[in-house]
Amino acid sequence: CVLKISDSCPTPLAIAENANVLARYASICQQNGLVPIVEPEILPD
């Protein structure tokens, strides 16, 4: 998920939810013997 940064975006909730999704992905990878590559993409305006 690419996040575009502005004064009102992303919201704190969006940041927290994106972090939770990436953490869950990393956890599933590790449980299956894989090394997760977690690289949040942020594009400043």
Query: Can you give the pLDDT at residue 35?
Result: 97
What residues does each domain of the chain span?
Answer: 2-44
Query: Can you give the pLDDT at residue 15?
Result: 85
Angle CA(9)–CA(24)–CA(3) in degrees, nearest 5? 20
Query: Are 45 and 4 spatial neighbours (Cβ–Cβ below 8 Å)?
Result: yes
* Global pTM exceeds 0.75: no
Q: Write out the chain in H/E/C secondary structure.
A: CEEEECCCCCCHHHHHHHHHHHHHHHHHHHHCCCCCCCCCEEEEC
pLDDT digits (tens, 9 = 90+) for 3-31: 678 888 888 898 899 899 999 999 999 99
